[in-house]
Structure 1
Amino acid sequence: MTYFVLALVVFAAVFLFSLVKIVPQGRELTVERFGKYTKTLKPGISILVPFVERIGRRMNMMEQVLDVPQQEVITKDNAMVKVDAIVFIQVMDAPSAAYRVENLPYAITQLCSTNLRTVVGSMDLDEVLFQRDNINSRLLTVIDAATEPWGVKVNRIEIKDLTPPVDITNAMARQMKAERERRAVITEAEGEKQAAIARAEGAKQAAILQAEGRKEAAFRDAEAREREAEAEAKATAMVSEAIARGDVNAINYFVAQRYVDAFAELARNPTAKTVIVPAEMSGLVGTIAGIGELVGLAREQQGPTRAAPPPPPRAARGGSVPPTT
């Protein structure tokens, strides 16, 4: 009796297990009735017909990553490169992925390998090395179209590693070194160019400032000469007025000024080794005395009367000072 009850419990457990199915999230189960596909169980709890229906395939509906093995590929210019990749897939239709292809991961991996050889083999080595995005997009287009009947969506394909031959790697290293040296030379030349421009600009500004300084100095000199000329014109006008009034001292002042200027110019001459002093120095002394009297007269006219300055001493030689009227 005990064994019978135990057997009944085991049978009931097996019956319930075959009757009720719980599908986890991210999975789908296909149901077969006498070996023929009938429906797909979504995530959740489902009940099957006992002894008639059974679970066929358990499909993973999450995105999966497949590794494409490394392989050697000959490029268009006969260079041997080693290429491997990874592919991201997602099952969109569980019945198609379960019943239209056997061993889905292996089939997709082989499909990627063959198309990778085709795409890389149609390109030159430089294109393979520097156009990985182009390779990825071409592979994605071809493989996604090929796996669509299987109910699989190929989301991405990425070239994981691409290894050129050793001699090509060495040539690329030398090329990179030469390119770096060329850029360094260009940068150095640009620096020298900028320095030369800066020096030229500095010289230009210095020349402009010097020219402006010379211009200002010339303007100041011209202004000084103008004022000197105005003063001389005023002095000449005053002497002319004195001469018009019949003042002999004014004539003596004018002649003495020219005499002194001429004698000073003769003394400053760098080519003259000997200066001859005129014998008629008394005439010069007399002229100076006349100048003194003229100055005194001017002071009397401009202010209160002051004592006239004493007459200068007579010259040692050359006679006496001519009398003034």
Structure 2
Amino acid sequence: MTEDQIYTLLSDSGIYLLGALFLIIIVFKGVRIVPQSEKHVVERFGRLHSVLGPGINFIVPFLDVVAHKISILERQLPTASQDAITKDNVLVQVDTSVFYRITEPEKTVYRIRDVDAAISTTVAGIVRAEIGKMDLDEVQSNRAQLIATIKASVEDAVDDWGIEVTRAEILDVNLDQATRDAMLQQLNAERERRAQVTRAEGAKRAVELNADAELYAAEQVAKARRIQADAEAYATGVVARAIKDNGLEAAQYQVALKQVEALNKLGDGAGKQTIVLPANAIEAFGDAFKMLRGGS
């Protein structure tokens, strides 16, 4: 093989090698594999051309350039604290945290420079505005509603930036020491008021129970008297019927019984008693005794 042939062979081999190398570079430049957690922004001659999604993508080598690689994973902004004044003029310090993800990288890249700082500033302004519409008690008790309102307002504000706000949280609402002392005094006063109400209700209940007991006792006494009166009325009725049926003898019989009972009570007394009787009493007692013997 002559030198010319060798030179020609080497030249042809170099051309083939350069061609293969160029083809490899073309393939390497034209094929882009995008991870699942990212999106790539492609520019052509310095202008937005396309956005590459996860997987295998093809671009025009040397014309198209991947200018930005944007993570689409959810992000958390650092916890931010901002002062706000409530509707009832109470100064509070609110700690907030926001979670978001980029859904349209082309908007985020070309419309906002520092997305984290922009979202933080937006959240701070919205938190101050929303807390300014509420009293302190409402801020403490309606925190879930406040968070929902803040999230909706932030979503509207950052919509042009290609961002989705996934969650907004109010971590804490801090008060200055003077306000805390005033709230503590108010809390103690409320506890004392409730204690007084409880004691008053207890005393009222005791009076009601005592009145119920006295009423019950009075009802029982009245019931006993009514029974006694019914018994006496029944006895009187019996006597009346006996007098009606037997005439004067029944009446004399009852009088004799009362006289004997009176004499028995006099005889049961302590000491000596002197009894003065009318002259005709002896005859009356005699008739009574006869009637008693007859009745027995």
Is the 1:100–1:150 contact (alpha carbons within 8 Å) kept by the matching residues of 2? yes
Greater shift after overlay, 28-37 or 16-25? 16-25
- Per the alignment, residue 152 of structure 1 pairs with 163
- Per the alignment, residue 93 of structure 2 pairs with 82
Change (3 A) 1:83 1:214: same
- Per the alignment, residue 33 of structure 1 pairs with 44
- The Cα of 1:80 is off from its aligned counterpart by 4.5
Q: Does 1:169 align with 2:166?
A: no
Q: Secondary structure at the match of 1:183?
A: helix
For 1:289 and 1:136, the matched residues in 2 are separated by 108
- The Cα of 1:170 is off from its aligned counterpart by 1.6
The one of 204, 222, 230 aligned to 1:211: 222
- Per the alignment, residue 236 of structure 1 pairs with 247
Larger RCO, structure (CA 8 Å, separation 6 or more): 2
- The Cα of 1:43 is off from its aligned counterpart by 2.6
The one-letter code sitting in structure 2 at the alignment partner of 1:172 is M
Is the 1:256–1:284 contact (alpha carbons within 8 Å) kept by the matching residues of 2? no
The one of 209, 220, 223 aligned to 2:231: 220
- The Cα of 1:212 is off from its aligned counterpart by 2.3
- The Cα of 1:188 is off from its aligned counterpart by 1.9
For 2:252 and 2:130, the matched residues in 1 are separated by 114
For 2:22 and 2:216, the matched residues in 1 are separated by 108
Q: Secondary structure at the match of 1:276?
A: coil
- The Cα of 1:128 is off from its aligned counterpart by 5.4
For 1:83 and 1:72, the matched residues in 2 are separated by 6
- Per the alignment, residue 113 of structure 1 pairs with 124
> Which structure's CA Rg is the greater one?
1
Deviations 1:182-237 (A, max 9, x none): 11111221222223223322332332233223222322232233223323443437
Change (3 A) 1:114 1:261: closer
- Per the alignment, residue 45 of structure 1 pairs with 56
Change (3 A) 1:265 1:31: same
Change (3 A) 1:215 1:292: closer
Provide the alpha-carbon RMSD of the alignment.
Answer: 4.3
Q: Does 1:191 align with 2:202?
A: yes
For 2:252 and 2:143, the matched residues in 1 are separated by 106
The one of 61, 78, 82 aligned to 2:72: 61
Q: TM-score, normalised by structure 1?
A: 0.66
Count of aligned pairs: 279
- The Cα of 1:150 is off from its aligned counterpart by 0.9
Is the 1:256–1:287 contact (alpha carbons within 8 Å) kept by the matching residues of 2? no
For 1:285 and 1:145, the matched residues in 2 are separated by 120
Q: TM-score, normalised by structure 2?
A: 0.71
- Per the alignment, residue 274 of structure 1 pairs with 274
Identical aligned residues as a percent: 31
Deviations 1:255-310 (A, max 9, x none): 6875674575577589xx631256779856874796599679xxxxxxxxxxxxxx
- The Cα of 1:117 is off from its aligned counterpart by 4.3
The one of 66, 77, 101 aligned to 2:112: 101
The one-letter code sitting in structure 1 at the alignment partner of 2:121 is Q
- Per the alignment, residue 193 of structure 2 pairs with 182
Structure 2 stretches lacking a partner, 5+ long = 1-9
- The Cα of 1:72 is off from its aligned counterpart by 4.0
